[in-house]
Amino acid sequence: MQSTIGNSIKLSLFGESHGTAIGIMIDGLAPGIKLDTDFIQEQLEKRKPKGKISTQRHEADDFKIVSGYFNGYTTGTPLCLIIENKSQMSRDYEKTKSIMRPSHADYTADAKYMGYQDYRGGGHFSGRITAPLVAAGAIFIQVLRSKGIEIGTHILKCRNEKDKSFSSEESVLLKEIREVNAKYFPVIEEAAEEKMKKLIEKAGEELDSVGGILETAVTGLPAGIGEPYFNSVESVLSHLIYSIPAVKGIEFGAGFAVTEMYGSEANDSFYYENGEVKTKTNNNGGINGGISNSMPLIMKIAVKPTPSIYKEQESVDIAKQENVKFNIEGRHDPAIIHRARVVVDSMTAFGLLDLICMRYGYMWMTDKK
């Protein structure tokens, strides 16, 4: 029963939604990484709920680094970061603790932990636990940016409302990445933001929720990153992205659309440009044989509608062993896709940095570009 992952860099996640604190241990960071703690807080702000499109549980998410950091730099020893929980309303879960909420981890957690799990707010399975992942991700993003590697995610689709896709032109793509990274609601077109927000608010008014598709792009990733077969770029990132609550699908490049193409259409032809190898198309999403080819890495991620809805639902009461109808109480999001994007960026940054360090060693993090 582990909540640890990584090769050159290891993450250990801990805490519960309504516990005293949540946090993360990072082992494998090089010494001498200068940290911008303001940037860590900025990233946490992107995950926070705001307005009618999010839950009304508002946490300060003030973080503390309690080890592995001294005089503004990483020390090279394990870095431990914690975030206190200050806005718990645990009574909302007490009277329905034996009722298994549909599409939550209530039943599977009970089966795994034999009834000893912290059920309040989903416990260790709650989306609240992604906050320390974002804080850690902010560290990884800083390291990658110092090497010219940029990551960005936008909402490509929210139920049936669409934003335009990231540009295939690398210079334009980098501009779009930086623009969406500066926004709380990450879309490329302003018109899409207004339509999506109205859709989310309407779902909330109807006691329901919506999901959608996120599109992630990475630029500046050098060729040669990834380890076939079991630590390929796709397998590592898929593992990490699927670890984010509510993610139900992922595809790279053209994804499932390649099934409708001939090989002559799907293949990305190579050519030289200013002495660098490029591809004329990017149907493989910047990856060949599980290894980066220096073209932009492109992923699409499916995020399901928030399972906590206020409509009456059918389920079971495992204490009484009977079928029941019930209404969820508490504070919940009509959509989490806009908050999930920064979690996707964070896990993408971790996966890529871990793979890079597997090839070049952990001191790559502090080597000059």
Q: For tokens 């591809």, what's the residue?
A: 279
Picking from 139, 140, 153, the residue whose alpha carbon sits closest to that of residue 219 is 153
pLDDT of residue 178: 98
pLDDT of residue 368: 62
Residue 61 binned pLDDT confidence (cut-offs 50, 70, 90): confident
The conformational region for residue 321 under phi > 0 = left, psi -120 to 50 = alpha, else beta, is left
pLDDT tens per residue, range 343-366: 999 999 999 999 999 999 999 999
pLDDT tens per residue, range 304-339: 999 989 999 999 999 999 999 988 877 788 999 999
In sequence order, what are the residues at sequence separation of 6 or more whose Cβ sits closer than 8 angstroms to the Cβ of residue 339? 46, 47, 48, 49, 54, 127, 333
Q: For tokens 């992952």, what's the residue?
A: 5
Binding residues for FMN: 124-126, 289, 304-308, 331
DSSP 143-206: HHHHTT-EEEEEEEEETTEEPPPPPSSHHHHHHHHHHHHT-SS--SSHHHHHHHHHHHHHHHHT
Binding residues for NADP(+): 47, 52
Contact at 8 Å (CB) between 127 and 303?
no
Picking from 295, 272, 300, the residue whose alpha carbon sits closest to that of residue 282 is 295
- Say if residue 74's pLDDT is above 90: yes
pLDDT of residue 123: 85
Number of residues written out for the chain:
369
Binding residues: 47, 52, 124-126, 289, 304-308, 331
Collapsing DSSP to helix, strand or coil, 94 comes out as helix
The residue segments making up the domain with residue 217 are 4-365
For the chain, first and last CA: distance in Å? Answer: 39
d(CA 347, CA 240): 6
pLDDT of residue 332: 82
pLDDT of residue 58: 67
- Say if residue 271's pLDDT is above 60: yes
Residue type, 16: E
- Say if residue 258's pLDDT is above 60: yes
pLDDT of residue 93: 67
Total domains present in the chain: 1
Tokens for 94? 């007490």
Looking at residues 91-97, what average pLDDT do you find? 72
pLDDT tens per residue, range 162-178: 999 999 999 999 999 99
Q: For tokens 């034996």, what's the residue?
A: 98
DSSP 9-57: SEEEEEE-TTSSEEEEEEE-PPTTPBP-HHHHHHHHHHHS--GGGS-S-
Looking at residues 73-77, what average pLDDT do you find? 97
What average pLDDT is seen over the chain? 93
For residue 38, with 0-12 CB atoms within 10 Å meaning exposed, 13-18 middle and 19 or more buried, which class applies?
Answer: exposed
pLDDT of residue 80: 98
Q: Considering only residues 1 and 359, tell me which one the structure prediction assigns the higher pLDDT.
A: 359
Least confident span in 52-61, 132-141, 153-162, 225-234: 52-61
Cis previous bond, 229, omega within 30: yes
